[in-house]
A and B are shown apart, each in its own frame.
Chain A
Amino acid sequence: MRWFSINYTGIYAIYRKEMARMARTMWQSVATPVITTVLYFVVFGRAIGSQIQHVDGVGYGAFIVPGLIMLTLLTQSVSNASIGIYFPKFTKTIYEVLSAPLSYTEAVFAYVAAAATKAILLALIILATATLFVPLNIHHPVWMVAFLVLTALAFSLFGFIIGIWADNFEQLAIVPALVMTPLTFLGGAFYSIGMLPQPWRAINMLNPVVYLVSGFRWSFYGSTDVGIGASLAFTGLFMVICLLVLWWIFCTGYRLKT
């Protein structure tokens, strides 16, 4: 068989199965982020926002929209992808994927694409919800979509790695809770990095989420904390690191094969 042949049917089978799995729990997975977002709008947008007025020339309610979408996108990407691969590992059904004529790249692509698809769908639902609260006009829609897709893919890869690494449900939950949530909150979802006092501002520049939120916000309002180039570079870098880790995982068979 030619080395460049691709098992499209196999990729599609995994993608479809993953999407079906998510569809089974659709109401839960849609309701939670939507309700949370509405709460954020009420608390931050209305209650606190009424005191703040404008940030970087944008109304506070509108200012937090990109951050909220990013918050959902990141948590959803990580949790979808990590559960997507952890579940078959846990139920031992992974044997079938490992014994199929499917390369690692193909399998990862299928799982990651499914996780990213769902995360993006949810992000769009949040966006639609947001328009009920604040008037939005998006300056760079193409870039907005590009950021959505890139971020969803990068963090789905990250989630995939966590799912492979995790040995139990605690470990599966700990990274989103202990790493993702603080990073996103500190990453400027609800404020401009410029508002932070100094040592924190410098430290926060190591936080990848700062670049994501900032770049994403730029695609909405054209204003940014850090340069758009830096945002793209950081997202790309993060993705490359995840790919390298995955490559190492597959070379060594870590936690997948003995």
Chain B
Amino acid sequence: MAHVKLKYRKYQKDCLMQQVLVHNVNKIYRNGCIALHAVDLAIEQGEIFALLGPNGAGKTTLISIICGLVTKSSGQVLVAGHDIQRDYRAARMRIGMVPQEIALDIFETVWNTVLFSRGLFGKRRDTAYLEQLLRDLSLWNKRDARVIELSGGMKRRVMIAKALSHEPDILFLDEPTAGVDVTLRRDMWALVRRLREKGVTIILTTHYIEEAEEMADRVGVIDKGRLLLVERTVSLMRKMGKRRLTIVLQHPLADVPLELAGWQLELEENGHNLIYSFDANAENTGIPTLLRRIAELGIEFRDLDTARSSLEDIFVSLVERAA
């Protein structure tokens, strides 16, 4: 029964859920740089997916291939079941893309810019839709301004408006918040969530771990052209996450007492802090016993603090493991 259920789930996933399917994609640039190495990835309908990796990992290359800006060296990519090369029209109709850098015709007005984008994607003019879009992005009162007159944040929003002008099902955002101030980043995150509520699948790249953690349903970690893992953000945290208990001591210790050797404790801050790392998912953390032992030994402490490790720690350990 469980087997059948699993099989059905997989079937459902394969047929209905996968908006973007990347299979064994390789990319070698003409200068010999191997930007992608056997990448396999399935993006599900309606999710927010974060592609997380350091600079030069291959994030831009991967989404550029899916969007048709870069030709892959080998492999296959399907968008909503359409091959991006054989059936490029059907595939690209569904995709909106915001590249990493702002690229706009600065002499055009905001309105003409989005009008052009919509037309380019073969959609009939829909003034009401475009008006709503510009309103949502707080650009409506700037519709007749030329792009050159806009602030950096507004230009970024114009880029998003262009990408959404043809009502795509899938939105690619390449480092949407790189070099963006805090307010704009918040706005961007809110926008992404609103879009997801409307059923738009969102794939964003980032090298900010907090962004992936905050936004994404799932995270793919990429480094040196290899996709190291793809995991639900929550389960990734659960699986990989460690927790740290920090015990702030009244009097510093020179060494961890022998009696506590079983917990593998560490001392930090010149012996003022006693650190206990434990598995975040363990049923039995051993904390109560540890505290009792500490009390029995007459070690006084004035504070306790526990912290969950961030994706950053996870990422560092992953990259180390892959190296």
Contact = CB atoms under 8 A, between A and B. Distances in A.
Contacts of B101: 92
Contacts of B90: 1, 101
B68 interface: yes
Interface stretch (B43-51, B120-128, B175-183): B120-128
Contacts, number: 83
B88 A101 contact: yes
A95 B119 contact: no
Which of B92, B103, B108 has the most chain A CB within a 10 Å cutoff? B103
Given A10-B121, A93-B103, A258-B70, A101 B30 contact: no
Interface in B68-126: 68-71, 87-93, 95, 97, 99, 101, 103-108, 112, 115-124
Nearest to A253: B71
B121 A100 contact: yes
A91 B116 contact: no
Given A9-B119, A257-B71, A93 B104 contact: yes
A233 to B, nearest CB: 36
B119 A20 contact: no
Given A12-B119, A13-B120, A99 B112 contact: no
B67 to A, nearest CB: 5
A7 B29 CA distance: 31
Given A91-B103, A93-B103, A99 B92 contact: yes
Interface string A85-125: 00010011101111111100000000000000000000000
B156 interface: no
**Contact-residue size bin, chain A (C-beta under 8 Å from the other chain):** 20 to 34
Given A5-B89, A7-B89, A93-B103, A100 B120 contact: yes
Contacts of B92: 99-101
Contacts of A1: 87, 89-90
Contact of A24 (B29, B68, B107, B122): B107
A100 B115 CA distance: 14
Nearest to B27: A258
Which of B89, B106, B120 has the most chain A CB within a 10 Å cutoff? B120
A17 interface: yes
A228 interface: no
Contact of A258 (B29, B115, B123): B29
A102 B120 contact: yes
B105 A95 contact: no
B162 interface: yes
Nearest to A14: B120
B91 to A, nearest CB: 8
A9 B103 contact: no
A100 B122 CA distance: 9
Interface residues of B, number: 36
Interface in A11-48: 12-14, 16-17, 20-21, 24
Nearest to B102: A92
Contacts of A96: 117, 120, 162
Which of B29, B91, B122 has the most chain A CB within a 10 Å cutoff? B122
Which of A7, A95, A99 has the most chain B CB within a 10 Å cutoff? A99
Contacts of B108: 17, 20
Which of B71, B90, B121 has the most chain A CB within a 10 Å cutoff? B121
A257 B104 contact: no
A95 B121 contact: no
Nearest to A87: B105
A7 B98 CA distance: 22
Contacts of A21: 105, 107
A238 B89 CA distance: 31
Given A91-B104, A101-B92, A9 B124 contact: yes
A20 B111 CA distance: 13
A148 B146 CA distance: 35
A100 B105 CA distance: 17
Nearest to A24: B107
A16 B118 CA distance: 13
A99 B68 contact: yes
B69 A95 contact: yes
Contacts of A24: 107
Contacts of A102: 120, 122
Contact of B69 (A5, A16, A93, A257): A257
B160 to A, nearest CB: 13
User: Lowest 6 CB-CB distances: which A-B pairs, in order?
Assistant: A13-B119, A92-B103, A101-B89, A101-B92, A7-B122, A100-B120
7 contacts: A16-B119, A91-B103, A91-B106, A96-B120, A97-B120, A101-B92, A258-B70
Given A21-B105, A92-B103, 6 more contacts: A9-B122, A9-B123, A9-B124, A93-B105, A96-B162, A99-B67
